Amino acid sequence: MSVEQVRGWIAQAKSIAVLTGAGMSAESGVPTFRDAQTGLWSKFRPEELATEEAFRARPQFVWDWYVMRREMMKGVQPNAGHVALAGYARRHPGRLALITQNVDGLHQLAGSPGVLALHGNIADDKWLDRPKACCTSNPPKEGRPPSCPVCGNLRRPAVVWFGEMLPMDALAAAEQAAETCGLMLVVGTSGVVYPAAGLARTAARHGRMVVVNPEPSDLDDAAHVVLRGTAAKLLPELLA
């Protein structure tokens, strides 16, 4: 099955959904998570860095890691894949639902409207515990991490950690899109993290699902077509 035939499916579909993962941003220079050599999880242990327990146990260690990742994001630009998705949405308003697991904000930076960010945004912070009046009426005290000067409530990165609930609204809208789209493109994800990966399986049951990935992924079995290639190369071809 070629790119040309998938382009035909895209044109036929009543609406399309796109689910992206870290591979979407690899060609922008953002490391993926599970790539054997360069992936973040090949160097760091997720259970030590991406859980609430880990943050409560070692807030400075975890905070510094996010500061390092934010530094890495400085100057990073959307690639041709991000740009192709934003361009398609501009040319076909309301026809594309863009769902991402990425916290890098590159879809939004490329100008994609209404991005359903399932795992939050690494550029944002929020309170660790439900904020009290003291937390919101005083500027946070400087620190790693910053904290409430009165009760000590900590600031934490506004991303979804393992074991945490996804943002309800974004997840509900993503499930709706997966159930109603005629076609879902699944780009740059290993497909091992749920509930995000479950959206691709839902789309495959209701319509067509196409995987775009240079390597085998856990969703290849459910895909109607697997296109072995990269996001920045294939998305401009598929969406032109």
Give the footprint of ligand APR on this chain (CB under 6 A): 21-23, 26-27, 32-35, 39, 101, 119, 187-190, 193, 213-215, 217, 230-231
Contacts with 48 (C-beta within 8 Å, 6 or more apart), sequence order: 54, 58, 61
Place of tokens 């879902």: 184
Considering the complex, state which of residue 108 and residue 213 has its C-beta at the smaller distance from ligand APR: 213
Which residue lies nearer to ligand APR by CB, 22 or 226? 22
- Determine the Cα–Cα distance for residues 132 and 141; give it in Å rounded to an integer: 15
Q: How far apart are CA 108 and CA 105, in angstroms?
A: 5
Question: Do the annotations mark residue 104 as ligand-binding?
Answer: yes
In the complex, the smallest distance separating the C-beta of residue 131 from ligand APR, rounded to whole angstroms, is: 25
Instruction: Output 152 or 216, the one with its CB closest to ligand APR.
Output: 216
**Min. distance of Cβ 217 from ligand APR in angstroms?**
5
Q: Which is nearer to ligand APR, 121 or 180 (CB)?
A: 121
Q: Tell me how far, at minimum, the Cβ of 23 lies from ligand APR, in Å.
A: 2
User: Is 188 annotated among the ligand-binding residues?
Assistant: yes
User: Is 8 annotated in some ligand binding site?
Assistant: no
Within 10 A of 169 (CB to CB), how many other CB atoms are there?
Answer: 9
Q: What are the backbone angles phi and psi of residue 83, rounded to the nearest 5°?
A: -65, -40
Give the shortest CB-220-to-ligand APR separation in angstroms: 10
Among all residues, which ones are annotated catalytic? 119
Which single residue brings its beta carbon nearest to ligand APR?
Answer: 23
Concatenate the DSSP letters of all residues of 54-122 into one string.
Answer: HHHH-HHHHHHHHHHHHHHHTT----HHHHHHHHHHHHSTTSEEEEE---S-HHHHHT-TT-EETTEEE
Tokens of 222: 């459910």
88 is in an annotated binding site: no
- Contact between 157 and 127 (Cβ < 8 Å): no
* Tokens standing for residue 206: 């209701």
User: Does the annotation list 79 as a binding residue?
Assistant: no
As annotated, the binding site includes: 66, 69, 101-104, 188-190, 213-215, 231
As annotated, the binding site for substrate includes: 66, 69
As annotated, the binding site for NAD(+) includes: 101-104, 188-190, 213-215, 231
